[in-house]
């Protein structure tokens, strides 16, 4: 009888978990894994996880540091002095932004961690957060988990995927506390310019809103990296996230940073110090080396991505997908032709019938319903193979017929 009572008792998750869904890519990667286990060769163009290694000197530093017995202890929540100094030097060299390494930079276990930390540090239940559509899903999830409300602002190709701040200002809800920006933008690859950041900072100042710019794609296929912190007086109410994941092929190392005014950084640190016990010292030491790499590192990396992007352009052309204007970052974003249904069906059809995974744009918001995104984190020969598979389909019939026939089968 006792065991029966115990088996029927259920611990319910917190209500905040009901407001968010599992990350789309978690379930999709599980599906791809099952397909691969069954012998299907899937070409995964959906995930932005760099497939190339960090610079040799970075790996060598990690190994040498890991061999030192004293480097396996708990580390400071603020990171080593050497790491913060390297981050400050990186911002000075690459963005022309001078930061106080002691008070205006906080190393993080990747910038995604920072999205949650910032939300926990500044949002009270009922506060409103401005989130881009399309945009990175973590902005919405972090806001909801913190008990805040989300007000989406629509981005469109007509405005080069930049927010129309005058329209947003007219429709602001009461209680807006924070606004997320992300330029170069994911998923569209759109780039901001100094004039836009000036306008955004002025908008935030007028409306007493905190601005957070998520900036991990600044150095990928982008000749003009900029920081929102280059705007005068911005750091008093602006934070910027950055990461070594994409720029230095260190995604799995979990190394990022948040930069901004000292009071804001202290608030983030208060949350962070209650959630981890510092980063592995060898990873910090290796990051110092990575941040000191010269322009040759970025040039060589971008040469590879540029060749891959050219091949993805060919793939999109075969699919009759319309490309937007110049795009930066690790992805290619394109709009479906009128002959095809929504992007999720096209994505599912290509995966099941051709073993090619492209991310449907609806993952990033309603504005992405008719868009597909391809990652550049795949070797050139695999992109060529994806092109060959699509070309083979097109030899048999039109892709629209292929997709619609699959819809009928379902």
Tens digit of each residue's pLDDT (9 = 90 or more) over 277-325 = 999 999 999 999 999 999 999 999 999 999 999 999 999 999 999 998 7
Answer CATH for 21-50+296-409 from 3.30.565.10, 3.90.1150.10, 3.40.50.300, 3.90.78.10: 3.90.1150.10
pLDDT digits (tens, 9 = 90+) for 371-390: 999 999 999 999 999 999 99
* Phi, psi for 194 (deg, rounded to 5): -55, -35
Residue in 146, 209, 200 with CA at minimum distance from that of residue 179? 209
Angle between helices 343-354 and 380-396 (to 10 degrees): 100
Residue in 227, 175, 222 with CA at minimum distance from that of residue 201? 227
Q: Is the pLDDT reported for residue 398 higher than 90? A: no
Please report the sign of the dihedral spanned by the C-alpha atoms of residue 204, residue 205, residue 207, residue 212.
positive
pLDDT for 328 equals 96
How far apart are alpha carbons 240 and 257 in whole angstroms?
A: 8
CA 73 to each of CA 69, 70, 107, 183: distance values in angstroms, whole numbers, following the listed order: 9, 6, 17, 37
Q: Is the pLDDT reported for residue 334 higher than 80? A: yes
Angle between helices 111-122 and 262-272 (to 10 degrees): 100
Place 342 in a pLDDT band, splitting at 50, 70 and 90. Answer: confident
The larger pLDDT score, comparing residue 231 to residue 401, is at 231
Q: Decide if domain 56-293 falls under CATH 3.40.640.10.
A: yes
Find the mean pLDDT for residues 62-83.
Answer: 96
pLDDT for 402 equals 61
Token pair 């110092």 is found at 288
Q: Report the percentage of the chain scoring pLDDT > 90.
A: 82
Q: In the predicted model, what is the mean pLDDT of the chain?
A: 92
Find the mean pLDDT for residues 50-57.
Answer: 97
Place 20 in a pLDDT band, splitting at 50, 70 and 90. Answer: confident
Token readout for 307 is: 């060749």
H or E stretch covering 180? strand 176-181
Q: Is the pLDDT reported for residue 408 higher than 50? A: no
Place 409 in a pLDDT band, splitting at 50, 70 and 90. Answer: very low
pLDDT for 130 equals 98
Burial class (CB in 10 A: 0-12, 13-18, 19+), 51: middle
Q: What is the CA radius of gyration of the chain?
A: 22
Find the mean pLDDT for residues 98-110.
Answer: 97
Q: Is the pLDDT reported for residue 232 higher than 70? A: yes
pLDDT for 341 equals 76
Give CA 388 to chain center in angstroms.
29
Q: Is the pLDDT reported for residue 406 higher than 70? A: no
pTM of the model: 0.92
Instruction: Please state the domain extents for the chain.
Output: 21-50+296-409, 56-293
How far apart are alpha carbons 278 and 351 in whole angstroms?
A: 40
């Amino acid at each position: 009888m006792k065991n029966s009572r115990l088996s029927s008792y259920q611990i319910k998750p917190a209500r905040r978990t009901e407001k968010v869904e599992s990350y789309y890519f978690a379930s999709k990667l599980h599906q791809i894994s099952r397909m691969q286990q069954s012998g299907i060769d899937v070409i995964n163009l959906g995930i932005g996880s760099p497939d190339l290694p960090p610079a040799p000197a970075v790996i060598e530093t990690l190994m040498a540091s890991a061999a030192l017995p004293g480097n396996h202890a708990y580390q400071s929540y603020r990171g080593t002095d050497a790491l913060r100094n390297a981050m400050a030097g990186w911002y000075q060299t690459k963005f022309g932004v001078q930061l106080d390494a002691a008070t205006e930079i906080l190393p993080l276990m990747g910038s995604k961690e920072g999205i949650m930390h910032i939300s926990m540090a500044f949002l009270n239940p009922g506060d409103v957060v401005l989130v881009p559509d399309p945009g990175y899903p973590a902005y919405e999830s972090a806001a909801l988990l913190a008990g805040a409300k989300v007000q989406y602002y629509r981005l469109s190709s007509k405005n080069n995927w930049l927010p129309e701040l005058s329209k947003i200002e007219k429709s602001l809800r009461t209680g807006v506390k924070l606004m997320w920006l992300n330029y170069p933008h994911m998923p569209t690859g759109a780039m901001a310019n100094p004039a836009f950041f000036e306008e955004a900072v002025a908008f935030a100042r007028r409306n007493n809103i905190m601005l957070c710019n998520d900036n991990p794609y600044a150095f990928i296929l982008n000749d003009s990296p900029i920081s929102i912190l280059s705007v005068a007086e911005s750091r008093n109410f602006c934070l910027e996230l950055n990461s070594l994941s994409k720029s230095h092929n260190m995604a799995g190392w979990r190394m990022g940073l948040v930069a901004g005014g000292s009071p804001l950084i202290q608030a983030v640190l208060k949350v962070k110090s209650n959630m981890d016990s510092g980063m592995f010292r060898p990873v910090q030491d290796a990051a110092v080396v990575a941040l000191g790499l010269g322009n040759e590192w970025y040039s060589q990396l971008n040469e590879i991505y540029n060749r891959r992007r050219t091949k993805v352009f060919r793939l999109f052309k075969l699919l009759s997908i319309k490309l937007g204007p110049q795009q930066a970052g690790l992805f290619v974003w394109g709009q479906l032709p009128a002959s095809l249904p929504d992007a999720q069906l096209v994505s599912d059809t290509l995966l099941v019938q051709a073993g090619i995974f492209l991310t449907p744009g609806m993952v990033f918001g309603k504005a992405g319903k008719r868009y597909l995104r391809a990652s550049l984190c795949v070797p050139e020969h695999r992109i060529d193979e994806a092109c060959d598979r699509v070309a083979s389909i097109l030899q048999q019939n039109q892709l629209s017929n292929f997709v619609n026939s699959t819809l009928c089968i379902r």
